[in-house]
DNA sequence: CTGTTAGCGCATTCAG
DNA sequence: CTGAATGCGCTAACAG
């Protein structure tokens, strides 16, 4: 603290420009490099990031905007984003938008204050109005328009896969349960894929789509199963919903595995070292994070990028589906 | 982007100093304030954070170092830290140290590059060697030395409370199960409090302390219950451990509530809107986060602070203890 | 109360 | 390849 390039230059007997060039890996003669390195070490010099940012207009920082980090899917995703960014020498600003468009907007303003070089966003509001084409932005799980690059898991394929796995395990009557949001949402593709498989293979199915936000899961779920009495396979839009469905069905004396099989979506784990909580379609969160980081850094560097990346999902059997 | 204070000053017909003073809420005459505000709006001016940081030596950023955000306790805590920081106009750098002292050290170096004003750390390695007294640092859940301020829940009181609640519910033979770490750890106070209550009230108890890191929970737990056959109340060092214990006991044909009551620690929820997963001693994470933010900002401002804050815990009955 | 000015620490010309 | 000089956008001290 307090020691600047000038001090280093003085001690090494060179100009400040030379020190700067060293720091930035620009060609420097070996002999002078030695001297400068020694001086840096002796003085314990640390380049000042603010000064550098002021000059270069780069802060080496990416903002991650998500609804809330307090959710296993997002926290796992954030973990991988930070990990990937860190490898590239970038830092991560964490932004909990809480579904509040104003908060999202506020964070986007930060980019203009040159605090961040780009934004990775998982957002369900109309953020695209604010992201101009010259602002590096990568959307996760949500397709805005051709101008906005996005990364997503193969939701449609995942829905199909869930139906197929249930079918393969002898289920005769399938059910889809999910929420439905006012904002267009890639997750509806999970239902589409599921239904497409059922139609294609002439499998009977029913769907329950609960309007979000959902305050009470139990009531609509029970009401639904009052209508649909016969069923032996359920696919839920995500793992959280699946757990709610299991709980609701238990009060109706229906036990998973004995009375029905169940597949969730996301592949949520409470912690990295623990198991999946149920059979589920796993999103490749680490790969999605890596892809998002890759894209955003390319954008920051001014390179052209593909405008969407769709990654494959996998099925993992973990306690709520039978062995095949 | 591109529009600076100079442009604003020119349009408003004032000096740059006046614009700066306005931005920083220093006394300005109402009439000139009007003009400047109009110019700011018209030009869509955003002050450049890097330039400001360069001058003031303040980045309005705090780093949160934790083992991994991919853990419900930490992600909930991080959520509240970000929320609290955001209210104070501060940004949050997220750092997953992964228990790697080198990574922790690297992040601490950032402070010297004047990228962050202070650090809030949940760390179980010997980070105190690096945090000099002039570096604003607040430790969570871990007491280093007199020089390091820390915030923690009342672990000892929580342990006592768990024993008391089990006692109150008629348990005769209690058991404590937790891990034990090579680094001294505030969590051992949970066991201490628990045991203190038992001794004080002449209640029989046994303890199992498994060396960390724990790869396999089931084996030591089963071995332990082979020895300790009679028990009707269990207190676990945290909720994760409690869930593992429940699973292990199920394979021994012991069912919670029927054969024993169980209390965890932390008050973990998977998401903010969901319920606790079991009866547990709840840490006041929001209050802890607020206290940590309060302390760190005081330190950044150069104010003196208390050197520790211990917050009370509460018991919540949620499915693994009987009604009293 | 306000305009002017001098740096903050660095990257980047431009000469040499 | 290197040293000197310029300015990034802003704040703070100074003089009015």
pLDDT digits (tens, 9 = 90+) for A117-146: 999 999 877 776 666 667 899 999 888 777
Lowest average pLDDT, out of A5-19, A47-61, A82-96, A127-141, goes to A127-141
Lowest average pLDDT, out of A289-298, B85-94, B210-219, goes to B210-219
Q: What is the mean pLDDT of chain B?
A: 90
CB B9, CB B16: distance < 8 Å = yes
Footprint of strand D on the protein (CB under 7 A): A 13-18, 21, 27-29, 31-32, 51, 54-55; B 2, 4-6, 16-17, 19-20, 23-24, 45-48, 51-52, 54-56
| Closest CB to B82 among A53, A82, A94 | A94
pLDDT of residue A149: 93
CB A109, CB A79: distance < 8 Å = no
Q: How far apart are CA A314 and CA A166, in angstroms?
A: 14
Contacts of B205 (CB under 8 A, 6+ apart): B163, B173, B174, B175, B176, B194, B195, B198
Rounded to two decimals, what is the model's pTM?
A: 0.93
Q: How far apart are CA A124 and CA A122, in angstroms?
A: 7
Point out the nucleotide closest to B18 (alpha carbon to C1′).
C2
pLDDT of residue B114: 64
Average pLDDT over residues A291-316: 95
pLDDT over 90 at B285, yes or no? yes
CB B94, CB A78: distance < 8 Å = yes
Nearest to B207 by CA among B233, B239, B181, B246: B233
**Structure tokens that stand for B224 in this block:** 């332990």
Chain-chain contact of B115 with A51 (C-beta, under 8 angstroms): no
Span CA (A12) to C1' (D13), Å: 33
* Angle at A301 (CA atoms; ends A297, A304), nearest 5 degrees: 90
For an interface test with B, give the residue of A23, A70, A89 to mutate (most B CBs within 10 A): A70
pLDDT of residue B65: 93
% of chain B exceeding 90 in pLDDT: 66
Q: How far apart are CA B49 and CA A50, in angstroms?
A: 8
| Closest CB to A94 among B46, B78, B114 | B78
Average pLDDT over residues A310-314: 98
pLDDT of residue A112: 67
Point out the nucleotide closest to A48 (alpha carbon to C1′).
C9
Q: What is the DSSP string of A142-178?
A: ----TTSEEEEE-HHHHHHHHHHHHHHTT--EEEEEE
Chain-chain contact of A54 with B59 (C-beta, under 8 angstroms): no
pLDDT of residue A28: 67
Instruction: Read off the pLDDT of residues A174-231 as tens digits, 9 standing for 90 and up.
Output: 999 999 987 767 889 999 999 999 999 999 999 999 998 888 888 999 999 988 888 9
Instruction: Read off the pLDDT of residues A54-66 as tens digits, 9 standing for 90 and up.
Output: 999 999 999 999 9
3-state helix, strand, coil in chain A (%, to 5): 40, 20, 40
Point out the nucleotide closest to B36 (alpha carbon to C1′).
C2
* Angle at A77 (CA atoms; ends A176, A289), nearest 5 degrees: 105
Asked if strand C contacts A12 at the CB level, meaning under 7 A, the answer is no
- Burial class for B181, CB neighbours closer than 10 Å (0-12, 13-18, 19+): middle
Lowest average pLDDT, out of A209-213, A257-261, B318-322, goes to A209-213
Task: Count contacts between A and B (CB, < 8 Å).
Answer: 131
% of chain A exceeding 70 in pLDDT: 96
Average pLDDT over residues B248-266: 95
What is the chain A residue with the closest CA to B135? A1
């Amino acid at each position: 603290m307090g020691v600047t390039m000038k001090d280093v230059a003085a001690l090494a007997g060179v100009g400040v420009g030379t020190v700067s060039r060293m720091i930035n890996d620009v060609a420097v003669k070996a002999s002078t490099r030695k001297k400068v390195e020694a001086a840096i070490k002796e003085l314990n010099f640390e380049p000042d990031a603010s000064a550098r940012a002021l000059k270069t207009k780069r802060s080496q920082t990416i903002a991650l905007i998500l609804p809330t980090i307090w959710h296993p899917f997002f926290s796992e995703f954030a973990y991988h984003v930070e990990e990937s960014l860190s490898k590239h020498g970038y830092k991560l600003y964490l932004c909990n938008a809480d579904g509040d468009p104003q908060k999202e907007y506020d964070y986007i303003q930060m980019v203009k204050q040159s605090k961040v070089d780009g934004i990775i966003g998982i957002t369900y509001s109309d953020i695209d109005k604010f992201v101009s084409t010259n602002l590096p932005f990568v959307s996760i799980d949500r397709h805005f328009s051709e101008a906005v690059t996005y990364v997503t898991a193969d939701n449609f394929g995942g829905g199909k896969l869930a139906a197929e796995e249930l079918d393969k395990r002898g289920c005769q009557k399938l059910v889809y349960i999910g929420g439905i949001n006012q904002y267009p949402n890639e997750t509806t593709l999970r239902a589409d894929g599921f239904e497409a498989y059922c139609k294609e293979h002439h499998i009977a199915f029913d769907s329950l789509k609960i309007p979000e936000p959902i305050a009470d899961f139990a009531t609509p779920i029970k009401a639904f199963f009052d209508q649909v009495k016969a069923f032996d396979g359920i696919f839920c839009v995500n793992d959280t919903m699946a757990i709610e469905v299991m709980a609701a069905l238990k009060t109706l004396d229906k036990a998973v595995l004995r009375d029905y099989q169940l597949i969730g979506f996301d592949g949520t784990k409470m912690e990295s070292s623990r198991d999946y909580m149920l059979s589920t379609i796993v999103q490749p969160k680490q790969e999605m994070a890596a892809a998002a980081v890759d894209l955003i850094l390319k954008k920051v560097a001014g390179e052209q990028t593909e405008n969407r990346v769709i990654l494959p999902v996998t099925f993992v059997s973990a306690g709520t589906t039978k062995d095949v």
